[in-house]
Each structure stands twice: as structure tokens, then as C-alpha cells.
Structure 1
Amino acid sequence: MRFYKNLIPPIWQTARAILQEGAHAHRSIQQLLRSNKKWGSRDRRFVAEQIYELIRWYRLYYEVALERPPETEADWWLMLKTAWLLQGHQPPEDWPEMQGLDSLEIWRRHRVAVENRAIRESIPDWLEERALQEVGEERWAKLLPALNSSADVVLRSNSLKAPRQKVLHRLRKEGLPVELLGDREALVLGQNRKFTHLKSYEEGWFEVQDYASQQLAHFLKPQAGRYLVDACAGAGGKSLHLAALMKNRGEILSMDLSEHKLKELRKRAKRAGVSIIKTEKIPASGRFSPAYYNMADYLVLDVPCSGLGVLRRNPQTKWIIKPEFLEEIQATQAHILREYSLLCKPGGQLLYATCSILPSENEWQVQRFLQSPDGQEFELLKEQHLGPDRGPEDGFYMALLQRKG
């Protein structure tokens, strides 16, 4: 690999902003690329990949290079030298910034550091301890390396517009390298390529939706003509998929605390040819008027969570969240189950989902609800765990409950 010195400062400066100043990873990288329009495609890909490598393997790199987090510009240059060596590249030794720690010492330190799994897999000690307590050694040993792998971009073909095979042929004709994934609507993008300019995208033939997320609608199997409430809808990826499975017949009420996300959902629904979705902002109190009670044939609660199941896509998460955040988010999940479950009609179904791998956010949360006074009217029909250690999906949990009566 050839290294161009002018690209290096933006890499470590952006990584520093993300890792030490709390900047949002995706937005920071996109802003950097937009502000350097003269960079070619190879340079842009190199910069983005190296920033994500620094985020993903932050602890491993700094433990080997410095035995502490980086503080100075010289520290970041040494971190990059270490990163490139561990990636199998030869750093440019003639650069003054690359002087100091020699390669043999880096490899010696690496041999020592990787004896500690939390350092080897680049996670905080508290997360290692928490995962061992909840997930157990056998699964965690397989799951953790998988969470550190890179994730493909996955698309969902829109069955309201065309069958998957027809979408596949059209995308290939438009120059997008896609392959079939699974036996339903999913397509995997072979390379991270732009596609929002394509006519097929503008006409709503496909959406970006992670493979695990696509399993939710099929897990529920909603019938056409029914009334469904997606009460944590966000920008609406699942609402759109549910509408397609319902053949655009019935009614979906998509709700969220963010009006900005609901505005994006309305735009996506128009593009996708979905007419059965209505949007509504959730009250700031998180409580609903009794007029909403006992109405939904299906209630979907894809609740806020730690995001520890999607570290492949959002490696910054492991450096942002703290143990106290887990307690706060579990309280939020319990509140949502308690308050939002009132929307489900007797005989209706409630789907609870997270993109976490921790039982305390998943099956333990569901069991606490079922054992509480608020959950006495519900029973568990089925549940499922997904994860990159088991298939092409991110870490995901789904539980389907039914309200008695």
C-alpha cells in the first residue's frame, strides 16, 4: 500500500474528534469527504477505511503503541504506525513522524497485549465483564470476534414495485454489484457504492435495510387489512417493510419522538409507493391518551437499546456507552413495554425487538414484563436471537407476545 502524507492528518484528527470529543462517526467522515472534493475515489476509500479501523481497534492500537490513550499529535502518528504494521503494511520509515518506537518493539508489545481478550478484541473492560456475566463464555468467545468484523451493505427489494429477481437485474444493469441474500427480499451490495442517484432508487425499487432488521416483519407476519402500530418507528425502515408484507392494505400508524425522523419516513413512503402509513409524534411524556388503548391488531416495539448488536456497523458505540447508560436504557425499555402495551387490543400481538446482544435488554426484560401486573394479560408465543456468529445478520432479538382475550 502507498501512503500519501497529505491524507494522514485528516485521518487522525477526525478519529480524535470521534473517539475523544464525542463527534458522530458517520457524519464526521461524510463532512470530511465533502470538504475534500479533489480526493479521488481511492483516496476517499482509504481515508474512510482508516478512520473506521482506528475506531474499531482503538484500544488495541493504543495499548500496543503507547500503553495509554493518545494525547498528543505525536501519539496519533505512532498509533497510525502501529495500526499499519498490525494491518500487514509497511509504514514509511523515512517520514519524521514515524520515528520513535521501532517495528520489532511494536510486535513484541502486541504479543503481550493480545493475551488479554478485552485488549485483543478492543473493548472496554466493563463490557467484557458484563458480556461474560450475561452471555456466557461459550457464546461470547464466538460472538465478540464476529462483532469486530466489517458488515456488508444490505438492501431490501420493494415487493410493491417488483419481484426481487427483477430488482436484481435492474440494479446490475445500472452498474450496481449486487447479489441475492437469503430467500426473501434481501440483496447484498458487493462494494460500498453510491446508489441514491439511480433511477431505481428514486422510483422506490429498493431501500437500505440491515438483514437482521428485515427478519422482524417476517417474524410478525402481519395480515393485510389489519391495523398496525409501529410505536418506535424512527425513519421507518420497518414500517415500509411491514406495509409491503401487508400488500399496502390496512393501516399503519408510525410513531416516534422525533418529528425529523417522521418527516423522512413520509418522504420514503411516497417514494416506495406506500399509502397506508400515517405518522404521529409521540407525546413528550411517553404516555398515550386512553383513546389509543386496545386498538392495535399488531404493536411493534423496536425499542431504544445499547446497540451492542450492531458494533460491526457502529463500532463507536463501545466507546460511548457506559454501565450506567445500560441501567437507564433498560428503565426506558421497561417504561415502553408498560405504557405502550396498552395500545394492543385483546387478541392482538405485540412484537418486542432490540439490536442488543444482552439478555438484560432482551429476554430478561420480556420476562420481567410478563411477571409484572402490567404484563399479566400477555403470553409469550416465540422469541429469536440473531447474531453475526450465527449468520449474516447483526445482533438482534425478537419476542412475539399475544394479549389474552
Structure 2
Amino acid sequence: MTPAARLAATAELLQSIEATPRRPSDATANDFFRARRFIGGGDRRVVADTLWSIIRQRIRLDWHLRQAKSDPSARLLLAAYLIIAEGRGMAAIEAIFVGGKFAMEPLDARERRVLAALIGKSLRDPAMPDNVALNLPLWAYPLFLARFGETLPAEMAAMEQGAPLDMRANLLRTTRDAAAVALAAEGIATAPTPYSPWGLRAEGRKPVTNTEAFKTGLIEIQDEGSQLIALLTDARPGMRVADFCAGAAGKTLALAATMANSGRITACDTSNVRLEGAVRRLRRAGVDNAERHLLTPGDKWTKRRAGSFDRVLVDAPCTGSGTWRRNPDAPLRTRPEDLAELVVLQQDIIDRAAELVRPGGRLVYATCSLFTDENEGQMQGFLERHPDFAVLPADALWAELRPGVAAPCAGPYLATSPARHGTDGFFAAVLERRAP
């Protein structure tokens, strides 16, 4: 494809995403490329990289276009990005919009006027409101400010950087050192993660899923912050464990490894598709102490098994604000009403999951959110409703689980962030049910 054709494809894909604003952009992109198999791998990477760069800067680009008194059409967003982020001049932009079969139609007079006003502008303009300068939706800005205060600029700078590739060595099949050697033999250099005892980190994008190390279950792709939640759950051999919001079983796999395939772990979810998708992962990892349970409306499973689990992990559905560096379209798709709905849902889930915990057992509540309402706020409400539970301070647990390794943070809860820890933003609370 010519450069103009690649950019025309980028604009077309961006328009498809604009037409379905609530759908994840990667799903739309996958459909787009699947329907256009004539686009080769190299061209596809260029189109995708340009698309995600535009989406990552969308809040700032929208502001610039509003200053130029224009709505953000796909054509103008693309051209604005090329001018502001890449420094292209009007002549270069005109050369892209030349018409014909494989290029975008020429700019009209209004588009030229708008784009001419953007020449010489930079992504970060001193006149920008604070939320725009930090690349945050207006509604989310006070929530991030409440979490980070004066360190918010550093956190948002880290959020704009590409996330590293974290992997977890599967202790059912290997050790961390042996997994690193296996990956190195396939051309992927890694370093141990600083907090997780099982983690390996590679910089940049690597074709990990094509390696024999992945195919044979030596490693799983998992952010270090997510691994730390499994660590704090402290699932041991012989225990009965429930992963109450298991999804595709990423944390189920980690828990099965800490249990050394001994005892029983039940992966629960409301989606049969997600649970069915977990089967291959469990088999590849060599997990044979796991079972699956589909949670359905009116299901009596929770009541029948009340008080019978040593550990119950609730990796609750959330806004995912701690993973926005990996999902740059998420700030654009997420709305304040989504947060309000999720807070209600989280409360219901954790109350139901708490029934499963035996006296002396532990409930672990976790999110990949940075918002207080989904984290500390949920814990405050839960403890008021359930006085038979008490918080086990995460820093004290850490000293038991990782002696000699500095805890990622002090206090009763685990709370990680990209700038401070190099991980996604995760929250975890460990609660113990008192014996009657």
C-alpha cells in the first residue's frame, strides 16, 4: 500500500470506531482487518499504530479541533494528528488527500481552513484545561486527582507510555529462572519483576504467544500487579478456593500454581463463553484441580456452599481505569454512569461471595481501578454491613509472603500504579472472617 492508501485505511477504520463508540476499538479493528485480508501484515501494523496513536491523543486532538471551531470528523482527526503530533505541513497533508481509488478525497475549503489553524500547534498547549493537558475525561479528572494529588502529572505521564509485557512463570511446569532461559532461547530477553516472585518482564511488543514456552504452558501473560493479587490471596495446597469472577481464568491459573494442583479451586463466572474459553488455558498450564461453575440468576450454588471455602477471590468488574495505558480507547468509552452502575454491582457481588467464606477463611476483593468508590469506598461499606469480617493489613501479609522484599506500598490495602510500581493500577483488600 502507498502511504496515502495506508492513511485512507486508517481514516476508514477510525470512522468505523466512531460509528460504534461504546464498542471496544480493538474488536472493531479486528473485524475491519478480517474483512480486508488484502492488507498485508506490514501495512496492517502501520495502520494500527497510527490508529492507536490518534486514539491515545484523542482528548487533546478534540480540544485543538474545537479551538479551530470544528467537529472531530475521522478525516480531520487524522490530519490534525499528522500536523500536531508529527509536525507535517499543509503541503504534506494536501498530498495525502489527493482522491482516486486508494486515497482520501481532496480537502474542502472548510477543512483546509481548520487544518491551517493547527499548523505550529503542539499536543500540550498552555491554554488547555487541566484535564485535557493530562489527557483525562473531564468527569474522571477529580477522581484521579483525589487518588494521586500532586503526583498526578507523573502518573498520567506513565499512563501514556506503552506498558511492558509481563509474564508469569507457571510453577506447575517450570521455575522463573528456567522460563527465562526458555524465552531467551527463542529470542525474547526478560528480567525478573521486582515484586512478584513468578514474574518476568520484556520491553516492547514480543510475539510471546508464538513461542514454545507459551504453547507448552511454561508462561502466561499477566501484569505483575495482577500476579500480586494472586500472591496476597495466599491459596495453599489442600485448600478449597473460589475465583468468584474468574473470566478467562487468568488468576485461577496463578492460584492453582500456588496450590501445587492440590485441593480444589472453582472458577465462577456469569459468562459461559468466558468459562469455556478458560478450558484451553487450564489444560495448557497443566491445571487439574480446577472446576468451573456458571453463575446464573436464581442460582442456589452460593447458598449451598456457604461457609465452605478457605479463600474466595473477587476480581470484581470495574471501570478498568488502572489499565487505561493498555486500553487507550477506554477513557473515551467509559461514562460516569458506568461507574455508578458498577459500584452497585460490586457491592452485590462481594456480599454474595462473602457467604462462601468459612470462619477463619479469607475474602480477597480486587479491582483494576484507581477510583476510591470502587476500592476503599467499597471496603468501608462492606465492613459496615459485615462486622464478622476484619481487614488483614496487606503490608503485614506481604512481610510473611515475601520476607526480605520491600512491600510495594504501606497500609491496609495493596494499591499499585504505573508511575510508582511499573504495573497497571490494581487494588486489593484481604478480609478474614472471624470465628463465631
- TM-score between both structures, scaled by the size of structure 2: 0.84
CA distance in 2, matches of 1:285, 1:69: 53
Per-residue CA deviation, residues 137-161 of structure 1 (Å, 9 max, x unaligned), is 3243332332222212222121111
Q: What secondary structure is seen at the aligned counterpart in 1 of 2:266? A: strand
Measure, in 2, the Cα distance between the counterparts of 1:285 and 1:317: 32
Shift of 1:254: 0.6
Deviation at 1:30, TM superposition (A): 2.7
The one-letter code of the counterpart of 1:77 is R
Q: Which amino acid aligns with 1:137?
A: G
Give the corresponding residue for 2:358.
345
Distance in 2 separating the partners of 1:294 and 1:392: 37
**8 Å contact kept, 1:64–1:113:** no
Aligned counterpart, 2:120: 107
Residues 369, 286 of structure 1: alpha-carbon distance in 2 compared, 3 angstrom cutoff: farther
Tell me the distance in 2 between the aligned counterparts of 1:103 and 1:68: 9
Of stretches 193-202 and 261-270 in structure 1, the one that deviates more from structure 2 is 193-202
Segments of 5+ residues of structure 1 without an aligned counterpart are none
In structure 1, the partner of 2:17 is: 18
Query: CA–CA distance in 2 between the matches of 1:155 and 1:70?
Result: 44
The answer as to whether partners of 1:19 and 1:316 remain within 8 angstroms in 2 is no
SS at match of 1:196: helix
Partner residue of 2:132 out of 119, 122, 128: 119
Deviations 1:72-95 (A, max 9, x none): 7xx433322321233344352442
Alignment-derived partner of residue 86 in structure 1: 84
Picking from 141, 144, 164, the partner of 1:131 is 144
Does the 8 Å contact 1:65/1:106 carry over to 2?
no
CA distance in structure 2 between the partners assigned to 1:69 and 1:232 by the alignment: 46
Partner of 1:358: 371
1:279 maps to what in 2? Answer: 292
Deviation of 1:40 after TM superposition, in Å, equals 4.6
1:140 aligns with 2:152: yes
State the SS of the aligned residue for 2:304.
helix
Kept after mapping to 2: 8 A contact 1:64/1:109 = no
Which residue of 1 is the match for residue 172 of structure 2? 160
Give the whole-Å Cα distance in 2 for the aligned partners of 1:26 and 1:18: 9
Q: Verify the 8 A CA contact 2:69 2:114 in the aligned structure 1.
A: no
Given that 2:80 and 2:115 are in contact with CA atoms closer than 8 Å, whether structure 1 keeps it comes out as no
- 1:251/1:130 Cα in 2 relative to 1: closer, same or farther (>3 Å)? same
Instruction: Give the equivalent residue in structure 1 for 2:225.
Output: 212
1:376 is the counterpart of 2:374: no
Structure 1 residue 176, shift from structure 2 partner? 3.2
Q: Which residue of 288, 303, 307 corresponds with 2:316?
A: 303
| Distance of 2:244 and 2:199 partners within structure 1 | 24
- 2-side partners of 1:255 and 1:349: how far apart? 17
Counterparts of 1:280 and 1:7, CA distance in 2: 46
Question: Which residue of 2 is the match for residue 32 of structure 1?
Answer: 32
Q: Which runs of 5+ in 2 are unaligned?
A: 98-105, 394-412
Separation in 2, partners of 1:100, 1:68 = 9
TM-score (normalizing by structure 1):
0.90
Aligned AA (2:421): G
Question: Structure 2: how far apart are the matches of 1:129 and 1:234?
Answer: 30
2:61 matches 1:49: no
User: Which aligned pairs between 1:212-231 and structure 2 lie closer than 5 A?
Assistant: 212-231=225-244
* 2:364 and 2:430 in contact (8 A); partners too: yes
On the 8 A contact 1:63/1:69 being kept in 2, the answer is: no
Task: Note if contact 1:378-1:404 (Cα within 8 Å) is conserved in structure 2.
Answer: yes
Contact kept, 8 Å, 1:19 with 1:55, in 2: the verdict is no
Identify if the C-alpha distance between structure 1 residues 114 and 219 changes in structure 2 by more than 3 Å, giving closer, same or farther: farther
CA distance in 2, matches of 1:56, 1:69: 22
**Cα drift, residue 37 of structure 1:** 4.1
Distance in 2 of aligned mates of 1:136 and 1:196: 35
Question: Do the aligned partners of residues 39 and 290 (structure 1) sit closer, same or farther apart at CA in structure 2, a change above 3 Å counting?
Answer: closer
- Secondary structure, counterpart of 1:192 in structure 2: coil
CA distance in 2, matches of 1:107, 1:40: 34
CA distance in 1, matches of 2:299, 2:338: 19
- 1:76 pairs, out of 53, 69, 74, with 74
For residues 353-375 of structure 1, give each alpha carbon's deviation from its aligned partner in whole angstroms, at most 9, with x where no partner exists.
00110111101110111012xx1
Task: Tell whether the 8 Å contact from 2:415 to 2:427 is kept in structure 1 after alignment.
Answer: yes
CA deviation map 1:12-49 (0-9, x unaligned): 22223334523322222233344444545443222112
1:218-241 Cα offsets, whole Å, 9 max, x none, are 112221111101100000000000
Structure 2 distance, partners of 1:126, 1:201, is 40
* Displacement after TM superposition at 1:5 (Å): 0.7
Q: 1:65: how far off?
A: 3.0
Alpha-carbon spacing, 1:288–1:67, altered in 2? closer, same or farther (3 Å)? farther
Instruction: Give a deviation string over 1:163-222, Cα, whole Å, max 9, x none.
Output: 122212222222334443336222223332333333322211111112211111111222
CA spacing shift, 1:100–1:177, aligned 2, 3 Å: farther
Indicate the RMSD between aligned Cα atoms, in angstroms: 2.5
Q: Tell me if structure 2 keeps the 8 A contact 1:302–1:352.
A: yes
Equivalent of residue 333 in structure 2, options 290, 304, 320: 320
SS at match of 1:390: helix
Q: Secondary structure at the match of 1:352?
A: strand
Cα contact 1:179–1:190 (8 A) shared by 2: no
Contact 1:211-1:393 within 8 A present in 2 as well: yes
Contact map agreement 1:154 1:187 (CA 8 A) in 2: yes
Residue 256 of structure 1: how far off its partner (Å): 0.3
* Amino acid across the alignment from 2:390: E
Cα drift, residue 314 of structure 1: 1.2
Over residues 306-334 of structure 1, what are the superposed CA-to-partner deviations in whole Å (9 max), with x where a residue is unaligned?
A: 11111001122211221121111001111
Query: Which whole-Å CA distance do the structure 2 matches of 1:399 and 1:311 have between them?
Result: 21
Which deviates more, 163-172 or 91-100?
Answer: 91-100
